[in-house]
């Protein structure tokens, strides 16, 4: 994992088409904006995991236990 330090107003580039902009720091919370092409899905990790589980269940219903 790459760990970078940035200040408010600074950015991190990911490839040529994605940028993370540090918008605000408030205690131990960081708010950032994301610029990415329209075709790139951006989700919080927990939302992404739920989407992947639903997709796996739809594709292979027997392989994913039903909670």
pLDDT tens-place string over residues 1-41: 999 999 999 999 999 999 999 999 999 999 999 999 999 99
Prediction pTM value: 0.72
Over residues 53-66, mean pLDDT: 77
Given this model, what pLDDT does residue 65 score? 62
Instruction: Say whether pLDDT at 67 is over 90.
Output: no
Given this model, what pLDDT does residue 59 score?
87
Asked if 35 and 21 count as a contact pair (C-beta separation under 8 A), the reply is yes
User: Phi/psi of residue 25, each to 5°?
Assistant: -120, 130
The better pLDDT of the pair 61, 25 is held by 25
CA 29 to each of CA 1, 26, 43, 62: distance values in angstroms, whole numbers, following the listed order: 20, 5, 17, 40
């Amino acid at each position: 994992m790459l760990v970078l330090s940035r200040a408010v107003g600074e950015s991190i580039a990911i490839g040529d088409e994605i940028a993370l902009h540090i918008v605000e720091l408030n205690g131990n919370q960081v708010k950032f904006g994301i610029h990415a092409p329209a075709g790139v899905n951006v989700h919080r990790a927990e939302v992404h995991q739920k989407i992947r589980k639903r997709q796996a269940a739809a594709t292979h219903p027997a392989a994913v236990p039903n909670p």
